[in-house]
Structure 1
């Protein structure tokens, strides 16, 4: 049984990915930071549907927590096969000139540096030269990396731009280790991240500007993630899938 670790796996896209992965036969590690009840609920749902999952708490912005998360995962399920770098945060909408440095540092710590830490640990378990069997890493970027999110979330968009660059560079660096690195760029998805940004109804407000004239569902993003994680995409690395309704 292959193992998939999903950071921020207790809600939104992460939760949808956990549920779909379990249905496709993965043993799933649902990482969470604070919301134990939500993570436990996802694990319970997976187990009720005869899947395999465990919830592990870790603040992935802390190096010691990340090391513990991956060690615990290995103890339970063995070497990792897939890492989904999903955890991310968004701050309230505002123009860049008003953003505090504390806010910007917080965004980059969670959305970029934490993903770096997790990926380093994943490589240690996956790399052929370290006794691993290879694997797949799927980074969750955003269409904001291309739009820049002016007037709203330039800091968030910039952090996702960093993830795009990271995906390209790492895909080339670890290809000979049997590790594929790809990314999904969601946009206009019905999750509670928009409430964190101060506008819970943002998707409905702008849906008529989207070519498909609707917002997306977390499960639709999960489908793209699972494809990139699977052998169906075995000749893809450094690849991006936009799940954005044609925007």
Structure 2
């Protein structure tokens, strides 16, 4: 299997931490970003300082043509892709379901669910032995909210991530005999920019471990799942949520 990994949403937060952890684990890294070129460049530099090759590629992963360009650019620059970290996602301001409108729901489900399906499909077309590929790993970054529901805050986000969990199970079974393992990670309350101001101060100590997690702690699990150390795992998700 190729040691080239593509990380969507790789310019900051969990995606950036995963890119660096994977580089430390021996992967060459394609860092996808949508708008934050400077942050993506810093992630590339961090990967290169670990002795790995890395490229940053701008693409909006809700757009099918841009997804195709993203994959083709990473392959042209680094070689065949052996792993995809399906991490890019969005969240809207907290609120109750009764306050949601169609525009909000379209944005959240396109950004979290539809994009994950499109990226996974592009990965399968390039990695599956049924398409002439050499196999690989797809890791979908979901959320513990998919299980807990996020009442009063982000029920739409939780539902969109529940769809990602279903993708992990279904696609994992679909391509298991085609050389591809599909796994998921469900982070809990993690110190990233996704939270509204004050949210972590308010609920960050509620997990049984008594603190929010760090992006690097999620990244280490992602690196494990991408490796042969998890070779007998597919179609399942790992919670990284401090017991929450």
- Shift of the alpha carbon at 1:243? 0.4
| Counterpart check, 1:111 vs 2:108 | no
Q: Secondary structure at the match of 2:84?
A: strand
4+ residue runs over 6 A deviation: none
Check the 8 A contact 1:204/1:215 in 2, yes or no: no
2:215 to 194, 214, 218: 218
Q: Secondary structure at the match of 2:201?
A: helix
In the alignment, which residue of structure 2 is the partner of 1:76?
77
- 1:121-140 correspondence to structure 2 within 5 Å: 121-140=122-141
- Shift of the alpha carbon at 1:172? 0.4
How far apart are the structure 2 equivalents of 1:26 and 1:208?
A: 34
In the alignment, which residue of structure 1 is the partner of 2:151?
150
Q: Secondary structure at the match of 1:94?
A: coil
Q: Secondary structure at the match of 1:181?
A: strand
Deviates more, 1:122-131 or 1:87-96: 122-131
How far apart are the structure 2 equivalents of 1:203 and 1:180?
A: 33
Normalised by the length of structure 1, the TM-score is 0.96
1:228 to 217, 222, 225: 225
How far apart are the structure 2 equivalents of 1:201 and 1:237?
A: 36
In the alignment, which residue of structure 1 is the partner of 2:88?
87
Q: Secondary structure at the match of 1:193?
A: coil
2:199 to 198, 202, 227: 202
Check the 8 A contact 2:6/2:30 in 1, yes or no: yes
In the alignment, which residue of structure 2 is the partner of 1:36?
37
Normalised by the length of structure 2, the TM-score is 0.97
How far apart are the structure 2 equivalents of 1:35 and 1:210?
A: 31
In the alignment, which residue of structure 2 is the partner of 1:27?
28
- Shift of the alpha carbon at 1:207? 2.8
How far apart are the structure 2 equivalents of 1:19 and 1:182?
A: 19
How far apart are the structure 2 equivalents of 1:104 and 1:210?
A: 28
How far apart are the structure 1 equivalents of 2:232 and 2:20?
A: 25
In the alignment, which residue of structure 2 is the partner of 1:57?
58
Deviates more, 1:156-165 or 1:41-50: 41-50
In the alignment, which residue of structure 1 is the partner of 2:67?
66
Deviation readout 1:56-114 (Å, 9 max, x if unpaired):
00011111100111111111122210000000111100001101110100001110111
- Shift of the alpha carbon at 1:208? 3.0
Check the 8 A contact 2:53/2:78 in 1, yes or no: no
How far apart are the structure 2 equivalents of 1:226 and 1:102?
A: 35
| Counterpart check, 1:96 vs 2:93 | no
Q: Structure 2 stretches of 5 or more lacking a match?
A: none
| Counterpart check, 1:168 vs 2:158 | no
Q: Structure 1 stretches of 5 or more lacking a match?
A: none
User: Over aligned residue pairs, what C-alpha RMSD do you find?
Assistant: 1.0
